[in-house]
Structure 1
Amino acid sequence: MKYKHLITLLILAWFVTFSASAQDELEAYERRQFVHGNDTLPYRILYPENYKPDQKYPLILVLHGAGERGRNNESQLVHGAKLFLKPEYRQQYPAIVVFPQCPPEDYWSNVNIVYSADSSSRTFNYRKGGSPTRSLKAVMELVEELEKFGSIDKRRMYLGGLSMGGMGTFELLRRKPDTFAAAFPICGGGHPAGARKYAKKVSLWVFHGEEDGVVPVEKSTVMVEAIRKAGGDVKYTVYPGVNHNSWDYAFAEPELLSWLFSHRK
């Protein structure tokens, strides 16, 4: 009995140490807040190693999913943030990486979500036009501020996001078609009519799980078809048998960053 108790304590101690270590690693992303009118947008920013203010760096903006909404300025780093901390990538692809956080009551995309009677399924009705959500508007203002930042290379600005953030990626491209050189929407969706605004201006790599039970894979398929119809350059990766967590596979793609950084305006 004492032996089992000791094993339990050791496992608990390892878990606490591992969690603290992982959190310390993510603290490389500095905590910031962007004040936009009456709204405050929390965000985290990662600077390159040996950062030099007078040097130009690419910008990577990543939009999190609905599950990471909040005000703690932490949850948005759950998916994808560790990728940009890998030593080999920081050396090979020095960049400024930004993760904003959407509040719990808002959404990155201007979409009407209709739930079934038992809440087991939902339908996403993307709006063709209209004003952006307050949070996406704040992100747009943040991007404009970042563009003024002397260390940002305006020819190498990149965008990506997962789930709600994948939807926000498609919408942000529509609203700012001349800003980003490349984008990677993951298990997202959008209104296909907007694709013609950015199809020939932005290179895309779209990801989705074939068995996605939250955002059906057809939502990405429709966008890819619209982009191609508009003459755009788009790669499309569908993961067989994968549900909604296609971001785990997308962020593990060995060519993702090399593909991303190969594009410029």
Structure 2
Amino acid sequence: MKKIILYLISCVIFSFAKAQELTKFKKADFIKGIDTLKYRILYPENFHSNMKYPVVFFLHGAGERGNDNQKQLTHGAKMFLTDEFQSKFPAIIVFPQCPQNSYWSNVEIETINGKRFFNFLSGGVPTKSMDLLLDLTDQIVKQPFADKAKIYIGGLSMGGMGTFEILRRKPKTFAAAFAICGGDNVANVKKYKNVPLWIFHGGLDDVVNPQLSYNVYHALKAINHTPKFTVYPKANHNSWDSAFAEPELIPWLFSQSK
């Protein structure tokens, strides 16, 4: 019994410590008219405003939508808090949060017999959340401490779809991007054909069909821009766990420059 109690106590302490680490991401609001996009921002250790730093924007999935300015840190945030990352890749990390009733990308979703089908649009105005994200991106990139040659974007699931979306809307902003279990209309790929890209998907994904990522890969390959493409044969929708564990993901991302 004592061992069980000690184990439970250690779990609580560990969880509390991890929660404390997440507070290093400072809460902020981007306000445009009557609309607000909440986000968390992490500055590198020993941050100096007179220095220039890479900036990484990370887009969460549909399950982390809301207005608590917390859930968007569920997946991926800890990757940027490790001592190794902080020492090797000092950067500014931004986690915006999409409201519950919105979506990052222009996509129509229909569920039939328990299966979800995605119809990605090739044009049209951005969603309200994407519109706010575009302006937030501009605001942060214009800061004197942002290295405009090293602006990156990545995301998972809905955020992977949003990554493709923002790339086509701002192709000249980003030095590189990664998209995990996302998708896009292949008619859009020509707009971000010059952006280095790493695409990930789980082979057994029953939420977002891996065919959607393959379609983007194949369309880019057809116009002589072959992105990195990694499929985890035994992974389901949470292929982000494997992607985050890729030892070359962060070094590859930060090696890209405009």
Normalising by structure 2, what TM-score? Answer: 0.97
Q: Equivalent residue for 1:221? A: 214
Which of 191, 195, 207 pairs up with 2:185?
Answer: 191
Amino acid at match of 1:244: H
5+ residue gaps, structure 2, are none
> Would the aligned equivalents of 1:58 and 1:95 in 2 still touch at CA under 8 Å?
yes
Q: Equivalent residue for 1:123? A: 117
SS of match in other structure, 2:27: strand
For residues 77-99 of structure 1, give each alpha carbon's deviation from its aligned partner in whole angstroms, at most 9, with x where no partner exists: 11111111111111111110000
Kindly indicate whether residue 48 of structure 2 is the aligned counterpart of residue 55 of structure 1.
no
Q: Equivalent residue for 1:169? A: 163
Which of 58, 63, 76 pairs up with 1:67?
Answer: 63
Q: Distance in 2 between matches of 1:240 and 1:233?
A: 20
Report % sequence identity: 52
CA RMSD after TM alignment: 1.1
SS of match in other structure, 2:251: helix
1:108-257 matches, cutoff 5 A: 108-117=104-113, 120-200=114-194, 202-257=195-250
> Would the aligned equivalents of 1:121 and 1:214 in 2 still touch at CA under 8 Å?
yes
4+ runs deviating over 3 angstroms:
6-12
Q: Distance in 1 between matches of 2:54 and 2:156?
A: 20
Shift of 1:247: 0.2
Shift of 1:11: 4.0
Shift of 1:187: 0.2
Q: Equivalent residue for 1:28? A: 24
Which of 26, 33, 38 pairs up with 1:37?
Answer: 33
> Would the aligned equivalents of 2:217 and 2:226 in 1 still touch at CA under 8 Å?
no
Shift of 1:227: 1.3
Q: Distance in 2 between matches of 1:81 and 1:37?
A: 29
Q: Distance in 1 between matches of 2:250 and 2:13?
A: 30
For residues 18-58 of structure 1, give each alpha carbon's deviation from its aligned partner in whole angstroms, at most 9, with x where no partner exists: 22111001111111111122111110111111111011100
Shift of 1:233: 4.2
Amino acid at match of 1:107: Y
Which of 94, 97, 112 pairs up with 1:98?
Answer: 94
Shift of 1:148: 1.3
Amino acid at match of 2:215: V
Q: Equivalent residue for 1:261? A: 254
Normalising by structure 1, what TM-score? Answer: 0.95
Q: Equivalent residue for 2:12? A: 16
Shift of 1:17: 1.8
SS of match in other structure, 2:141: helix
Q: Distance in 1 between matches of 2:180 and 2:102?
A: 19
Amino acid at match of 1:192: V
> Would the aligned equivalents of 2:55 and 2:92 in 1 still touch at CA under 8 Å?
yes
Shift of 1:7: 5.3
> Would the aligned equivalents of 1:199 and 1:228 in 2 still touch at CA under 8 Å?
no
Q: Distance in 2 between matches of 1:229 and 1:69?
A: 35
5+ residue gaps, structure 1, are none
